[in-house]
Structure 1
Amino acid sequence: MIEHSNLEEYLDPVNYDLEFDGEMDKYQFYLELARSSPGEVLELACGTGLTTIPLSKAGITMTGVDISSAMLAYARLKAGGLTVTFMEGDARTFESDKRFSMIYLTGNAFQAFLSDQDQNDLLTTVHKHLQPHGIFAFETRNPEGTDLSDQEETEWGSFIDKDGKNVKVSGTQCYDASQHIMHWVTMRDSGDKRTTSRIACRFTDQATLQSLLTRHGFRVEHQYADWDKTPFSPSSSSIISVCRKC
C-alpha cells in the first residue's frame, strides 16, 4: 500500500514547486512523446501539475490525477484558463470512460507503489485506460545504479522558499532490502524553522520491471538513462521506460 507518511512531502504545494520545478529537459521529453501519439494525455500522480501544465500550454489536451487535494488545488490555480482537467483520485483505482493516447507518471512516482499488488493495480489501470497501441511512459531509480546504503544525515541541497528564505535540505536514508523499499527522512531548515517529512520508495530492477510490464500487456520500446535519451545501461541511475500497449 502507499504509506500515509508518503503524503507528508505534499502538504506545502507552493514550496514543493519552488524546490522541484524547472526540469525543462524532462518537460520536453514528455512533450515530444505526447506529440508522437496525438490525442488526449493522462498524467497519473500529477501533483501540482509541474509537467501537466507545460504540456497543456504546448497544446496537448491534458488530464491530471492525484491523490493529494492540496497539490491539486494549487495545480488548478496555476492552470488558469488552460484546457486541462485535474481530478482527485488514486492511480490504483482510477476510473474514467475516456481512453487516452498516452499515460505517464514522472517524478519517480512509480516508486510510491510499494507492494506487488500496488504495482499490479497501477498497471491494470494504465492498460485499461489506454487506447489500442497507446503509449505508457515513466521513470524510476535503478537499484543497480543507486547507493542503497544506510546513511546518517547529509546535505542534499537548498532552495529559496515562498518567504524568500534560503532553506537547507538534508536527509537520512535506510534501505529495507527484504522489501526493496528505501525510507528517506528529509529535513528542511530555514534558520528559524526546521521541518521533517518521511517518504518510502520501492526499487524495482530492470529485469523485474520488464517481466512486470510484459505480464500486464505492454511492450517495452525504449529504455533510457536520462532525458537526453542516452541508452540505459546497468549502471544508470534511472530507468526511463517507454512502452506500447499490446
Structure 2
Amino acid sequence: MTTETPRQTEHRPSTSAPGGPDGTASGRGPTFGKDPKPGEGSSAYGESLADIYDSLYPATGPAVESMVAFLRELRPAPASLLELGVGTGRLAIPLAKHGYRVHGVDASPAMLAKLHENDPTGAVTSSVGDFSALVVEERYDLVLTALNTFFMLPDQEQQINCLRGIHDALADGGVAVFETYNPQVYHRLTETTTRVGHLAPDALLLDTIQVNQSLQSALVVHTVVGPGGLRKVPEVSRYAWPAEFDVMARLAGLRVTGRWAGWDRSPVTDQAEKHVYVVERQSALLA
C-alpha cells in the first residue's frame, strides 16, 4: 500500500506460507500453526484482487529490476530465498529466472493459482498459510518480505511472531529484507483522502484512505470501476515506526543492519515513500 497510483505503486500480496493453489504444499517449505480462513484479513484481499493484480502491478519495470539488483548484491544466486506474501509471483518469478531457489508463501489460494499460471515450469515452489505462525524445516539464505506485507499483520504481537519465525528460517549468514511504506506517508493524513488511478483504458481504481493515528493503522478501500461493475476491497495495515521495528527485531533475536529509502540505497528522509530494511540474526553479528 502506497500513495502512488496503480502501475506506479508497490502494493503487497497476502500474508502467508508455502503450498499449492488448493492449500497443499508444492515443494518443501515452512509449515504454519493454522491456515487462514476464507474471507479473513489478507486472504480476503488476495481472493478479491487476484484476477486483476497483475494489471495493477506488472512484473516488469524499474521497481522490479532494482529490487533484483539489490538482492543480487546482497546474496547472489544460487542462494535459497523464501518470500513471504509471494502473491502472483511478481518478484519471485524474476528472482527464479536469475538463478535463486525460491519458495513463496501467501494466505490467498487464488493468488497462488495465478502464480502457477504465471510460472508454468514450476520454478517457484509455493504454499498457503498464516506466516505469523511460521515453523521452518529448512533454512534460507534470504527471506524477503516486500510490498508492505509485514504491515498487513494486524498487531504488534503478530508482527513480533513473524520476526521470530524469520529468525528461525535464516541459514547461517542469512539475511532478511523488508520493504515497507514510510509510516509518515499515512500518519500525516488527518482527513479521509481519495486517490484515483487508471487500471485499464476502460477501468479506474479509486483508493479511499483513512488513518487511525493512535492505533497506527491505515484503512484503504480499493474501489474498482469498470465494465464489470463496481468492486470494493478493504485493506488494513498496522504500521511500525523505525524505532519500534528495531525493538521488535531485537525481541526476535534479530538486528537491523541497514535501512534505506529504496532499493537504490538512497538515504532515509521524512519525505521518502518507502523503507527497505536489511536484518540479520544477533548471534551472527556477535560471532
Flag whether TM exceeds 0.5 (same fold): yes
Contact 2:116 2:122 in 1 (8 A): no
User: Are 1:13 and 2:47 matched, yes or no?
Assistant: no
Q: 1:54 aligns with which of 91, 94, 117?
A: 94
Deviation at 1:7, TM superposition (A): 3.4
Counterpart in the other structure of 2:84: 44
CA 1:239/1:70 → structure 2, altered by over 3 Å: closer, same or farther? same
CA RMSD in angstroms comes to 2.2
Structure 1 spans left out of the alignment, 5+ residues: none
SS in 1 for 2:51: helix
Distance in 1, Cα, partners of 2:61 & 2:179: 16
Counterpart in the other structure of 1:106: 146
Counterpart in the other structure of 2:169: 129
Contact 1:34 1:41 in 2 (8 A): no
Counterpart in the other structure of 1:228: 264
CA 1:7/1:82 → structure 2, altered by over 3 Å: closer, same or farther? closer
Paired positions, count: 241
Counterpart in the other structure of 2:240: 204
> Moved runs in structure 1, 4+ residues, more than 6 A?
none
State the TM-score, normalizing by the size of structure 1: 0.89
Counterpart in the other structure of 1:115: 155
Counterpart in the other structure of 2:191: 150
Deviation at 1:96, TM superposition (A): 3.0
User: Are 1:240 and 2:280 matched, yes or no?
Assistant: no
Distance in 2, Cα, partners of 1:21 & 1:111: 22
Distance in 2, Cα, partners of 1:57 & 1:14: 23
Structure 2 spans left out of the alignment, 5+ residues: 1-14, 16-35, 283-287
Deviation at 1:195, TM superposition (A): 0.8
Deviation at 1:13, TM superposition (A): 1.7
Q: 1:217 aligns with which of 248, 253, 272?
A: 253
